[in-house]
Amino acid sequence: MIGATPAPVVLISFTIWFFVLQLCHAQVLPQLGTTPYIKHIVVGRCYAYTTIVNPSLRYDCEEIWREFEEAVIHRSSCNVTVDHYYQLFNAMPESWPCDRFLFWSKTRTLMHSYAAIFRHFWTLEDTLVGYMFNDLVWCGQDEDSGSVFFVCPLWSACRNHPVYSLWRKASQNFAEMACGNITVLLNGSIINAFNRNSMFGSVELDGLNPQRVDHVNIKVVTNLEGPRIESCHQGSIADLIQILQSRGFRWTCSDHDETLMMLQCIQDPKQRSCQTCANRLLQPKSLSFN
């Protein structure tokens, strides 16, 4: 018997390896595949939205899920177009009051705190469709197995990615609805703050209607620690202004918005550029954001 591994030991070590492999899968795959429990999440968020966030709205959440499934089911993962979501968007018509639309590109974290403080701002994530599908991943269903694909292709891998197509349609609707003064939050610490390939540059900008929009108020924000690469007069933002002008929009652009800087300083008060800001913050009247 010496030298031979007893069967139970083999079994145990196999079991351990099996668990290790399972753990690895559990940690890696959900990010690439359809979000687990997606139906429960989407339908649950829909009910949360229509009963708590925005109780004045009447939507049929089960119907919305059916239309979503209809759009995605039986289509290969790279073959779901914007048009396939037509019925889904029909099932949840939305409109928002003017002067509240906030657009952003590469400023997600700051945008969230900005929108949280100025409660009157609306971003795409505040719309029903944005609220329901935020951070979720899904892809088409396999005809044969009838199950949602476990591994989804990257957005960049195909033109008609189901996730991309949904956000494209949602962004387009959001932009087409925009009216009054709108705000655009851009990141001056990167090259191409205004990027023609971003959702804002490729979809939303084209959806804006100069007859409905009074002013496009651009705010360029740089990281407190820098670098300051782009500004209202420099780089791609100048291109954006050119496009707005040629399409007949009125616009403003600021690259030193005090409120935005205060927000950044609250999160990171030790930055040197916050010293003057901090002195002002010590005066109680400046603490009010209204």
Ligand X SMILES: *[C@@H]1O[C@H](CO)[C@@H](O)[C@H](O)[C@H]1NC(C)=O
**Interface residues toward ligand X, by CB under 6 A:** 76, 79, 99, 106-107, 109-110, 181, 187, 189-190, 214-215, 217, 221, 223, 252
- CB distance 46 to 132 below 8 Å: yes
- Torsion angle of the four alpha carbons 148, 153, 159, 165, in this order, in degrees rounded to the nearest 10: 50
232 as an active site residue: the answer is: no
Q: Give me the least distance between CB of 204 and ligand X, in Å please.
A: 18
Nearer to ligand X, 46 or 213 (CB): 213
Residue 210 CB neighbours (<10 A): 12
Cα–Cα distance between 266 and 259 in angstroms, integer?
11
Nearer to ligand X, 126 or 255 (CB): 255
Beta strand spans in the chain (E): 102-105, 180-187, 213-221, 250-254
Q: Give me the least distance between CB of 160 and ligand X, in Å please.
A: 8
Cα–Cα distance between 288 and 240 in angstroms, integer?
32
Residue in the structure block whose two tokens are 């289509």 = 75
β-pair type (213-221, 102-105): unpaired
Nearer to ligand X, 34 or 160 (CB): 160
Nearer to ligand X, 171 or 189 (CB): 189
Cα–Cα distance between 277 and 279 in angstroms, integer?
5
Q: Give me the least distance between CB of 58 and ligand X, in Å please.
A: 29
The C-alpha angle with vertex 245 and arms to 239 and 248, in degrees rounded to 5, equals 145
Cα 132 → chain centroid? 11
Nearer to ligand X, 221 or 240 (CB): 221
Tell me the one-letter amino acid at 199.
M
Residue 189 CB neighbours (<10 A): 18
Q: Give me the least distance between CB of 199 and ligand X, in Å please.
A: 15
Q: Give me the least distance between CB of 104 and ligand X, in Å please.
A: 9
Q: Give me the least distance between CB of 111 and ligand X, in Å please.
A: 8
Beta strand spans in 189-290 (E): 213-221, 250-254
Residue in the structure block whose two tokens are 């002013």 = 215
Nearer to ligand X, 127 or 160 (CB): 160
Catalytic residue among 46, 179, 232, 274: 179
- CB distance 239 to 245 below 8 Å: no
139 as an active site residue: the answer is: no
- CB distance 171 to 201 below 8 Å: no
Which sequence positions are flagged as catalytic? 98, 179
